[in-house]
Structure 1
Amino acid sequence: MGFLGQDWSQATGYLIFCVAVFSMGDFIFGLDVSAFGGLQALPSFLNDFGVYNEATKKMALPTLRKSLMNSIVYIGRITGVIAFEPVTEKWGFRTLFIAICIVQLLSVILQLAAKEWIQFTIGRVFGYVTIGTIEAAIPMYCAEIAPAHLRGFLSGTFVPIQTSASIMGSGVVRAMATETQTRGWLIPISIQLIPAVIGLAGVAFTVESPRWLISKGRHEEAVNVLSKLRTKEDVANGLPEAEVQALVHAVEVDRTIGSGTWLELFSGPVWRRTLYAAIIFFANEAGGNQFWNSYGPSFMVDAGLGAKSFTYSIIVSLAGAIGGLIGILSSDTIGRRPPAIFGSALLVVWDCLIAGLGSRPDITSNAIAQNVVVASFVLLIWSTKIAYASVGFIVCSEMGGIRMRKKIMMVGTANDVIWSFVVAFSTPYVMQKIGANVGYVFAAIAFIGLVFAIFFLPELKGRSLEEMDELFDNPRFKWGWQYPKVQTTGAGAAVAQVENANRAHHLENDDSKLDNEKREANIRVQEATWGNEDMRSPTTTKIHHLG
């Protein structure tokens, strides 16, 4: 066992390298979100893109302009979400990641060259094409290359890495807080070139998802990929071949059912998973997370906190990174549900405190109220990252099964985009009317997320990706806490058995128990794979046993 009970016995250096390279996409996401949230309060940015406000005697972004600059970028984001599934299905994750890095470079160049707010916003629209693709592609790639017991952690690294990038972005913005010349906003934008360049340089040394290779009939390549990702001991014992064997059969069984269609998202046993994905990301974005991303620093300025708002932004980002790390570490130890329940319950509290104290008439002079509001924002983001910001990406990257996984993930991220847009566009107008009382709206939504987490959020810890169809279809409805009790018996169960035997090989020193684990896995794979002679592939016929 490793850090906080996490088992790292199957985490090879090359596996971590592949995750790290693709995580440059998470850095792109985090840098953009933190940079633009802070830019809106920078004197240099307001001098170039704002207008003079007679009432305040300062340069400022008009309400409509601020709303458009925060919301119109979601045209790019939804484009990226829509493009994710067909591009990945046809060309794979590596090609998609190359495209992400190239488009990001184009986006940053357009922003750096901007003389008008419209050109700057167009550049961000291109950047948000990459963000829409990143939030679906990176967690799914990590989930597909990871061993089962590390899947929650590695697919969930999206959140703490993104938030760590936000710390970097917020720190650069803080350094430019008093700069009035154009370079004050050029520098925070230019650092967004760094992860794109690193990603382009490193992607050639990564591997394609073995599950994608299998779906294209490239079984031997999948074995080679898994042999690179798994430990030398696993390779010597033939476990990569056994894993591919089970995966091949699971894919072939699924193909006998037919290819997943978009209509299937809203019918049969899949519609419930579609609904769950939509609710998860609704609760994530509309529970208060997007409020901070778009307006946190400027909200603090309005509350009388001045230049301190940039320092508080760094603290908020740091708290988010810690919360995200807690969320993903706990997902593979205590499960997916407890962090979501705990974090959602706290969100209700922090949203209410921000609303109650932030709306006080004396908020600009009441130091105690200001401190509590700041602390509530810090803890709000910390709680968000523990809850759906981590769990949402993990669960949605898992529960789609073989045929519908990319489509379910697209539904989730599309809802993420929609609700981000709604919050970003409407919040400045709502705040003009009710001020900080908008926190009560977010609290109500966070409460909906809490109810969903308690009663409906499925517990998927330790399951193989190929088990999901059987898990959700037997019986069709289950309360969230009932999923661990379901015993699967099909092709997906064979994959899970291989993965569990793989893990047992590292955890158990008792030879007799290890032999039993291998024997049980071998029997399960043979029963699932060799039961139908017509479905045996060249890869499956050459593998007769584990170990």
Structure 2
Amino acid sequence: MSVSSQETSTPMEKPMHHEVEKVEVEQTEKVLGDGDLLSEAAAAENKEHEMGVWEAAKKHPWACLWAFTMCFTIVMESFDMFLNGNFVAQSAFQKKYGVRVGDGYVIPTKWQTALFQSGQCGAFVGVFVAGPITNRIGYRWTTILALIMMNATIFISFFADSLALLVVGQALEGVPWGFFIANAPAYASEVVPLALRGACTATLQMSWSIGSIIVAAATYSYNKRTDEWAWRAPLALQWLFPVSVDPRSLTYKVDYRSNSLKLIILTNIEKTPLLVLLFFAPESPWWLIRRGRKAEALRSIERLGDGNPENTQQSLAMMERTVEIEAQMGGSPNLLDLFKGVDLRRTTITCLVYASQNFAGNLIANQATFFFEQAGISHDMSFQLNLVNSCLQFIANALSWFLTPYFGRRTIYLWGTATNITLLFILGIVASIPQNPATNYVQAVLGILISFVFAGSIGPISYTIISETSSVRLRALSTGVGRAAYYVAEIPMIYLASQMLNATGWDLAGKCGYVWGATAVVCWVSAYFFLPELKDRSYRELDILFNRKTPARKFRSTVIDVRENH
């Protein structure tokens, strides 16, 4: 009887499974065949195409604010990244943890590399964890969770009394970095209208510059200290971003036997700026629609838009239509979907663009102070030039806001990379001729120019490309995997950069321009053949273009009718 029962139950299960699939397909087709929904969706998409940058900014100021707030979390990763680059150039830090070379001290190459790489290794873990968590609880709560983690892990780096413990602290801090960098571009691209996507996602690069300016100013101020506060005080500044610590909660104790000043933090946190802001931030309406929470999505659109009921309903219809189109391509998103069908192409573009940030001179900017010293600039002047370099990067970021609305993503990327290729090879040539004070300053100026070009073109436009390339359904996962590709490329490149610049390594100084110039050529050639033009395309249009396997160089000219779903 048991065998008979099993035989009769088995065929009963399959029709039920197919029936569920059939119902889901029928529901999707019903939604896409709804004339009213398609009419409202088409009206919303047409309005987005017609809307200019300034009009969009005036109608969606709150969307800009929340996009900028989310992007501001990147300041924390930037701060710590540039901080490590400045530590290895600080006299007090070198004397405490370095080895004697000539008349001074140098941090051994292996420890210098470990300090640079540990945070990236932690972030590599973070970006993979961020995607599944975000798909489950949303961008807002995932980022709040990361801010709480960040507060805790800063303590380890601050109280570290050895290079090994500092490396561990940096690795643990890297995990929430991964959450920030995975979510910020995705969230920013989903809460603002089409005309503002380029400018708002480019704000990510500005956050990097803000972090570098704070680091440059702090390390320059503490550079002349000879005690442990030369590096501990800048480390403590990290608490300014996720939380504000009441100065009354800090007590100081001088230990004369060890001749050191120890900080005892009595936990009394009274203000939490980013935590509070993000607590009140609206969730991405795209994420809410994907989760079937349309009423909440409608309220989120109202908060992000101009409050016009008709526009709000039309925007909801446009998002619902796009989500349903993508639902036909696959079910619940998972990491394996990134490497299937047309999404494999989109994932490849995202990974290549992210990874290429390491190959066009960016690592010179990340280690600017140390680069200036190795180029022959005096110790104090190197810190001054680093501050100038950071401020110029900020200006370049601001200029990129005016480039993205008028020039294509592909155009900016190709011209920015070509410019840096030229500057990098000139840098290598200048470093190869007999050296004198003039050639030293020329190398420093070229390093600044390379950083400026990167901050105004390749850097910000990469974040725009990354946030637009992936499908809405897989965006939280795609931005995470793309950033993972960045770290896979960056970790060995950090070792290479340290080897090229360090006196205990190859000591190439400006000759590293030959290496980075060659890698930038590879990036340019790859982008020329494989990077499509994404400017002025709605997410529905991009889905259709990728689904049709349109060649990269035909993206701009291909016409997609507003009524087409496939």
1:19, CA displacement in angstroms? 2.3
Indicate which of 14, 17, 28 corresponds to 2:76: 28
Gaps of 5+ in 1: 494-523, 530-547
Residue 539 of structure 1 aligns with which residue?
none
Indicate which of 532, 538, 545 corresponds to 1:471: 545
Could you report, residue by residue, the CA deviation over 1:270-321 in whole angstroms, capped at 9, with x for unpaired residues? 222222222212321122202331x321222233212111111112212222
Equivalent residues in 2 for 1:26-65 (5 A)? 26-48=74-96, 50-53=97-100, 55-65=101-111
CA distance in 2, matches of 1:255, 1:200: 33
1:360, CA displacement in angstroms? 4.3
1:8, CA displacement in angstroms? 4.1
Equivalent residues in 2 for 1:113-152 (5 A)? 113-152=159-198
CA distance in 2, matches of 1:26, 1:262: 24
Indicate which of 91, 94, 99 corresponds to 2:137: 91
Residue 26 of structure 2 aligns with which residue?
none
CA distance in 2, matches of 1:487, 1:441: 41
Could you report, residue by residue, the CA deviation over 1:110-144 in whole angstroms, capped at 9, with x for unpaired residues? 11111111111111112211222222211110101
1:399, CA displacement in angstroms? 1.3
**Letter aligned with residue 513 of structure 2:** G
Indicate which of 455, 462, 469 corresponds to 1:385: 455
Residue 418 of structure 1 aligns with which residue?
488
**Letter aligned with residue 450 of structure 1:** W
1:211 and 2:286 correspond: yes
Report the more deviating stretch, 271-280 or 88-97: 271-280
Say whether the 8 Å CA contact 1:346–1:383 is kept in structure 2. Answer: yes
Residue 230 of structure 1 aligns with which residue?
305
Residue 504 of structure 1 aligns with which residue?
none
CA distance in 1, matches of 2:313, 2:56: 21
Could you report, residue by residue, the CA deviation over 1:8-41 in whole angstroms, capped at 9, with x for unpaired residues? 4544342233123223302212211222211111
Equivalent residues in 2 for 1:238-249 (5 A)? 238-249=310-321
**Letter aligned with residue 559 of structure 2:** Q
Residue 386 of structure 2 aligns with which residue?
313
Relative distance call for 1:337 and 1:257 in structure 2 (3 A) is: closer
Partner of 1:59, secondary structure, is: strand
Gaps of 5+ in 2: 1-51, 244-272
Indicate which of 78, 82, 88 corresponds to 2:124: 78
Say whether the 8 Å CA contact 1:269–1:473 is kept in structure 2. Answer: yes
Relative distance call for 1:11 and 1:30 in structure 2 (3 A) is: farther
CA distance in 2, matches of 1:385, 1:325: 9
CA distance in 2, matches of 1:413, 1:15: 24
1:303 and 2:375 correspond: yes
Say whether the 8 Å CA contact 1:401–1:467 is kept in structure 2. Answer: no
Could you report, residue by residue, the CA deviation over 1:382-434 in whole angstroms, capped at 9, with x for unpaired residues? 11123331111111111112223233322321111111111112222344236
Using structure 1 for the length normalisation, give the TM-score.
Answer: 0.83
Could you report, residue by residue, the CA deviation over 1:161-199 in whole angstroms, capped at 9, with x for unpaired residues? 221221121111111121111111122111111111221
**Letter aligned with residue 244 of structure 1:** L
Relative distance call for 1:370 and 1:405 in structure 2 (3 A) is: same
Residue 242 of structure 2 aligns with which residue?
196
Say whether the 8 Å CA contact 1:139–1:397 is kept in structure 2. Answer: yes
Say whether the 8 Å CA contact 2:98–2:105 is kept in structure 1. Answer: yes
1:255 and 2:333 correspond: no
Residue 513 of structure 2 aligns with which residue?
439
Report the more deviating stretch, 72-81 or 250-259: 250-259
1:456, CA displacement in angstroms? 3.0
Indicate which of 110, 115, 133 corresponds to 1:69: 115
Residue 451 of structure 1 aligns with which residue?
525
CA distance in 2, matches of 1:264, 1:52: 49
Say whether the 8 Å CA contact 1:340–1:386 is kept in structure 2. Answer: no
Equivalent residues in 2 for 1:255-294 (5 A)? 255-259=327-331, 260-293=333-366
1:261, CA displacement in angstroms? 4.4
1:343, CA displacement in angstroms? 1.0
Relative distance call for 1:442 and 1:373 in structure 2 (3 A) is: same
| Percent of aligned pairs sharing the same letter | 22
CA distance in 1, matches of 2:137, 2:526: 36
Report the more deviating stretch, 154-163 or 459-468: 459-468
Using structure 2 for the length normalisation, give the TM-score.
Answer: 0.80
Residue 146 of structure 2 aligns with which residue?
100
Relative distance call for 1:268 and 1:126 in structure 2 (3 A) is: same
Relative distance call for 1:199 and 1:262 in structure 2 (3 A) is: same
Structure (1 or 2) with the larger CA radius of gyration:
2
Relative distance call for 1:528 and 1:302 in structure 2 (3 A) is: closer
Q: Give the alignment's Cα RMSD to 1 decimal.
A: 2.2
Relative distance call for 1:11 and 1:290 in structure 2 (3 A) is: farther
1:454, CA displacement in angstroms? 3.4
Say whether the 8 Å CA contact 1:132–1:417 is kept in structure 2. Answer: no
**Letter aligned with residue 28 of structure 1:** M
Equivalent residues in 2 for 1:337-416 (5 A)? 337-360=410-433, 362=435, 366-416=436-486
**Letter aligned with residue 386 of structure 1:** G
Could you report, residue by residue, the CA deviation over 1:45-68 in whole angstroms, capped at 9, with x for unpaired residues? 2233x1341x42423211211121
